[in-house]
Structure 1
């Protein structure tokens, strides 16, 4: 995929990057950002090649593989699975169910993207084959993307690092840990968990939006599912009405991540990836989320003005 080159060739680059850096600094965040015009390849970035923990942003790759297998006739999206107590993982969605739930694979993909349901993602990953995601990353040229497992494996690593055997033990022990112990968890270390770079993730998005990540119906399915994410406080918060943002977030203690595509009424499209590391571990930082939206909008407007 060719392009007109990085935004550094255009007037205003330093001003834009300074603005983005100040935006992140003002809320106590260090961040990697990459924004690229989906159609002509012009880009702007702040540390776009840093290896970062991507958390649930990896679910874009997961749902893409599911959609490709559906398009190839390998999987029937209406196939139903029974979600039992032993299948439930922490987080939103089915983890809170008191009884067994039956759902189609298609609905598991919907819950995976709309509310980042870890149980749905784990079941979907088991069905498509856990080794397929690393193979897909290689096929798409995501050379810096490493998938070490799904939600179940990542949760197991956290339990092991904390010394908890059950969710109840984890809930008791985790709040007592000092900050340095939390930041030392494998799940927060890009060298020891699923990770990528902002540039790799925007490449993935650009391929999906250009129908180059697989068959056209598969790419269309991923785009539609990403439009259903309920969370709006990060990248979407920075854009005015009329600009449609399809996105997938990822959150861990101290980490605020999101990747998505902003689609303007004039047809221009911009792939965006932001991975922010906050100075505080509190995941409910609306100031950080809103700063991500502000930075994304500033980067896109620099591309539109050049």
Structure 2
């Protein structure tokens, strides 16, 4: 696997970013590709995967009814470029579809509505029960937005993000440092993915629901860009804030055991759009997943 790690480093260096990767079969059999997979990284919207598990457990336990309607007013919601906060009028949908929007379009308003419903302690319980030793969630998207507004001295999240996206400034934010914001590791996130795919994260019915929702994510520009085959399923969740671009997923080739892949990056630039880094995530995923699929299953990394 040494050559694989060298290939991964070259991909990230060429894209002008740092990268952290871990790939392994869902059943835990065979080799693992690991590039600094135990290092703390900024979760960005990948934290919503833990919230999805907490929400599914709330459905199981009856603390939240999946089909109950909830009315959300965009002007009162956490800001974001997609989902409920981009609507002009109040939206009514079921809790399970609020969770679906949170994952499929990375809906910040949906995420914070769910976090308010299940509570931060529910996420801590998921972290403890799955033994995610290096995962910490300090709050939702509103918390992160407030942090970057504070760090930049702006009046709104949009203004703060716009300032941080300028490469003519030297302003940084604690929201981009895993020591001060919601953070995880590639290893921990693979544990979450494996639990969902093995029906141990929640009930089998809720795990099936989570798998379905993760297959419905609309973004094709990261992991899917490196694995574009129509008969291969990529079920995942992105995360983006400032220089941070991530994606975690389960990749399923026909007739093969699915592979969990987590790719986290931090770019040297702060541009709103960094297609070179997006493509690097896809290239890294292709390299890592291919290595796991093709390596002898008796070997070690």
Q: What TM-score results when the alignment is normalised by the length of structure 1? A: 0.90
1:88: how far off? 4.0
CA separation of 1:177/1:263 partners in 2, compared to 1, >3 Å: closer, same or farther? closer
2-structure distance, mates of 1:232, 1:298: 17
* Counterpart Cα distance in 1 of 2:70 and 2:259: 36
Alignment match of 1:46 (pick from 35, 46, 52): 35
Deviation at 1:26, TM superposition (A): 1.0
Q: Do the aligned partners of 1:245 and 1:260 also contact (CA within 8 Å) in 2?
A: yes
Cα displacement (A) at 1:163 = 1.8
Q: Does 1:235 align with 2:218?
A: no
Deviation at 1:90, TM superposition (A): 2.4
1:212 pairs with 200, 204, 210, which one? 200
Quote the RMSD (CA, aligned, Å): 1.7
Aligned-partner Cα distance in 1 for 2:166–2:27: 49
Are the aligned partners of 2:250 and 2:259 in contact in 1 as well (CA < 8 Å)? Answer: yes
Structure 2 distance, partners of 1:172, 1:237, is 27
Matches within 5 A, 1:91-102: 91-102=81-92
- Could you list the per-position Cα deviations for residues 268-306 of structure 1 after superposition, in whole angstroms to 9, with x for gaps in the alignment? 110000101111111312221112111111111112222
**Which of 125, 130, 142 pairs up with 1:135?**
125
Q: Secondary structure at the match of 2:132?
A: coil
1:99 CA drift (Å) = 1.9
In structure 2, the residue matched to 1:29 is 17
Say whether 1:70 aligns with 2:59: yes
Shift of residue 100, structure 1, vs aligned partner? 1.7
Shift of 1:146: 0.2
* Range 197-206 or range 210-219, more displaced: 210-219
- Compare 69-78 and 29-38 and name the one that shifted more: 69-78
**CA shift at 1:150, angstroms?**
0.6
Relative to structure 1, is the Cα distance of residues 114 and 168 closer, same or farther in structure 2, using a 3 angstrom cutoff?
closer
Q: Which runs of 5+ in 2 are unaligned?
A: 296-301
Residue-by-residue CA offset, 1:85-134 (whole Å, 9 max, x unaligned): 22242221122222222222111111100100100111011011122112
**Closer, same or farther: CA 168–22 of 1 in aligned 2, 3 Å:** closer
Tell me the TM-score normalized by structure 2.
0.92
* CA–CA distance in structure 2, aligned partners of residues 284 and 169 of structure 1: 16
Answer whether contact 2:239 2:246 (CA < 8 A) is retained.
yes
- The equivalent position to 1:297 in structure 2, one of 283, 286, 289, is 286
How many residue pairs are counted as aligned between the two chains? 292
Q: Deviations over 1:134-187 (max 9, x none)?
A: 2210111101000000111111111111223345754775566854312xx111
Matches of 1:151 and 1:302, distance apart in 2: 35
- 8 Å contact kept, 1:244–1:264: yes
| Paired position in structure 2 for 1:7 | none
Displacement of 1:221 after TM fit? 1.3
User: How far apart, CA to CA, are the structure 2 residues paired with 1:293 and 1:79?
Assistant: 38
Report the 3-state secondary structure (helix = DSSP H, G, I; strand = E; otherwise coil) of the residue aligned with 1:246: strand
Whether 1:259 aligns to 2:229 is no
The structure-2 alpha-carbon separation of the partners of 1:97 and 1:268, relative to structure 1 and needing over 3 Å to count, comes to: same
Over 3 Å counting, the alpha-carbon distance change for 1:256 and 1:76 in structure 2 is same
